[in-house]
Each structure stands twice: as C-alpha cells, then as structure tokens.
Chain A
Amino acid sequence: AQTIHQWPVAEIKAVGSPLSLGCTIKGKSSPNLYWYWQATGGTLQQLFYSITVGQVESVVQLNLSASRPKDDQFILSTEKLLLSHSGFYLCAWTRQISNERLFFGHGTKLSVL
C-alpha cells in the first residue's frame, strides 16, 4: 500500500527565517507530486507540481520554491519567510496516468510570527 508522509506536522517560525517542508511517498514509483497551500479559513491553492525527478512546474510561487531530489521526495522551501506564508501546506500525489484522484498527506501547519 502507498503511504504519504509529510514533515514536520507543525512549525512556528519567525519572519525572515528559512523554511523547509518535506513530503515522501512510499510504495509508488514515479508518482506525480503536488504542493498546495491553504490560508487559515481559506481555500486550496496549487503551488507546484512535478511529474519526474528534477522537474518542477510552478503554478503560483508566493516567494517559495520546490524541488524533487528523489523520485519519492518533494521539498518546499524558502530562504526568508513572510507573514503571509502562514497556513496549511499539503503535499499530494497521483499516479502517472491522467484523470487520477489526488492522495493528500496530513499537511503541515505553519505559523509565521
């Protein structure tokens, strides 16, 4: 069975500090990977997606970057956090077939102070 693990579960960070969020998918080779962001009380916004190692497409950057260093790993990062980065970050995957459903991780709650 496939599993998706996000880390950390929650973070409290200072404005201007760096951030790195991670996501690992086990049990599935070559998945499509996605990062979504949700402001508190807000709706889902797709940030990045990747269909293969080393290749990442940006949808909305929000002063963030993403990388896929391994087939099963997706990293979201920034060197300087803004207050507006606060929210809920969700990693998701689909099979490498069109029209497939998304499987979401449990998410990371980020508070920037």
Chain B
Amino acid sequence: GDSVTQTEGLVTLTEGLPVMLNCTYQSTYSPFLFWYVQHLNEAPKLLLKSFTDNKRPEHQGFHATLHKSSSSFHLQKSSAQLSDSALYYCALSGSSNTNKVVFGTGTRLQVLP
C-alpha cells in the first residue's frame, strides 16, 4: 500500500539557519503530495501541495519540489524563524482512487534563538 516516510522525531536548529525536512513516499500510482503544519494546540493546516506540472510550490518562505524519480517531496526554507517551530506532516493522496489520505509520522521542528 501507500506509505510516507519522514525525518524521524525532533529537528532542532538555530534561527536563521536553513531548514530541510525529508519526505519520501511509496505508491503504485502518481499521487499528490502535501505538507501540513500543526502549531501547539491547533489543528493542522495546509502548507504546500505538489503541482502536476513540476512547478515548485511556495508558501511562507517554505518550498518543496516533487521528484518522482526519487519519490521525494522534501520541505525547505532558506532561513528558519522562531515561529516556524511546529509539527510538520508530509502526506499523499489521490493514489489508487481510494480517497484515502496517508500521513507520515510527522517531524517536530524546534527553532532556537
């Protein structure tokens, strides 16, 4: 079945440094990939969604490129901010027409001053 693998656990870095959170997936079909962000005591919100035409989605300084050859959709930002501290989920959907959304286990990002 479909699956998503993310950078495990906690990623800690200093404000101003670049961010990269890994996401790889396995799917028989060509799914769409998403990044969701969840701040403390809030519901997850969409951060990015992959495009079909290889465009690179960007939002709030974050970007991710879908690489079908390596089945990856890594999340990147050039300079981390304190407010980026949150839980980040990579997810895929649209595979095999089941309408099921598959989430990775999540990566907690902690940005320190």
Residues of A within 8 A of B (CB): 32, 34, 36, 43-46, 49, 51, 57, 59, 90, 94, 96, 98-102, 104-107
Name the distance in Å between B28's Cβ and chain A's nearest Cβ: 14
In the complex, the chain B residue whose C-beta lies closest to that of A4 is: B43
User: Contacting B89 at CB < 8 Å: which of A44, A51, A98?
Assistant: A44
B46 touches A99 (CB 8 A): no
A98 touches B100 (CB 8 A): no
Given A99-B32, A99-B93, A101-B49; A44-B43 close (CB under 8 Å): no
B105 touches A43 (CB 8 A): yes
A32 touches B45 (CB 8 A): no
By the criterion of a CB under 8 Å from any partner CB, how many residues of chain B are at the interface?
A: 24
Question: Which B residues are CB-close (under 8 A) to A43?
Answer: 87, 89, 103-106
Residues of B within 8 A of A (CB): 31-32, 34, 36, 42-46, 49, 87, 89, 91, 93-94, 97, 99-106
**Assembled-state Cα–Cα distance A99/B42 (Å):** 24
User: Contacting B100 at CB < 8 Å: which of A44, A59, A100?
Assistant: A59
In the complex, the chain A residue whose C-beta lies closest to that of B97 is: A98
Given A99-B31, A105-B43; A94-B99 close (CB under 8 Å): yes
